[in-house]
Structure 1
Amino acid sequence: MFKDFVILVLALSSCFFFLVGTTGLIRLPDVFSRMHATTKSDTLGAGLALLALIVYKGVDPVSLKLLVVLVFIMVTNPVAAHIISKAAYDKEIGKRKEGPDADI
């Protein structure tokens, strides 16, 4: 019973963070804000979903593989977002326009 409750809380938390990240992607104004919202939320959402799966499987070789995937996502997702945002900054993609012709 307690195990099911923990799995439910982790899965619902994961869905919440995915929803927040998607909302941030749609609503935020520039590329850097969007990237920050999606990177943080998707990393946490994926981490919580994988933790729910680890709790569901219990002590099993599959749980060890899921843990490896979790660590891989926690390391690579922020690094990839940093590299993409650096490239956007260098190409001035996310620069806000000033004046009457600015996109709102």
Structure 2
Amino acid sequence: MIGDIALCLGGALLILGAIFTLLAAVGVVRLPDLYTRMHAASKAGAVGGGLILLAVALVSMDAAVVLRAVIGIIFVLLTTPVSAHLLARASYIAGYRAGESTVRDDLKTRLEQSSAPLITSSASN
């Protein structure tokens, strides 16, 4: 009885995770510029991957697999936003600009207000 409920719930989570992952892939293909593509991949991809790992943990009924899946979910939720932020900032510094539909550039405004350099170096020559 409990096993059947876990299988049905695991299947529903797996399908929901697959839908989020598909939406992330569609966003990467269809969105206009690097930053919106990165946003789709990081947000929907992390949620989709987390739901799939949660489904694996629920269906496995094994403590070792559940622990690994939970650690995987925590890892994905902690590293995906940080890596997306770092990639976006590196792309901005490298000169990639947002598409025409973007209405705000907060980093440009912040840099214009301060005299701080875009890249700081700890090594002195």
| TM-score calculated relative to the size of structure 2 | 0.73
User: 16, 28, 37: which is aligned to 2:31?
Assistant: 28
Q: Which runs of 5+ in 2 are unaligned?
A: 101-125
User: Which residue of structure 2 aligns with residue 9 of structure 1?
Assistant: 12
User: 62, 69, 73: which is aligned to 1:70?
Assistant: 73
Residue-by-residue CA offset, 1:16-59 (whole Å, 9 max, x unaligned): 00110011001100100000011001100110000000001225
Q: RMSD of aligned C-alpha atoms?
A: 1.3
What's the CA shift for 1:93?
1.1
Higher alpha-carbon Rg: 2
User: 50, 63, 83: which is aligned to 1:47?
Assistant: 50
Aligned length: 97
Contact 2:35 2:98 in 1 (8 A): no
User: 75, 85, 93: which is aligned to 1:82?
Assistant: 85
In 2, distance between residues paired with 1:61 and 1:17? 26
**Letter of the 1:55 counterpart:** L
Moved over 6 A (4+): none
Contact 2:32 2:99 in 1 (8 A): no
In 2, distance between residues paired with 1:71 and 1:31? 26
Q: Which runs of 5+ in 1 are unaligned?
A: 98-104
Matched, 1:93 2:93: no
User: Which residue of structure 1 aligns with residue 111 of structure 2?
Assistant: none
What's the CA shift for 1:79?
0.5
**Aligned to 1:29, what secondary structure does the other structure show?**
coil
Which structure would you say has the larger RCO, counting Cα contacts within 8 Å and 6 or more residues apart?
Answer: 1
> % of aligned pairs identical?
30
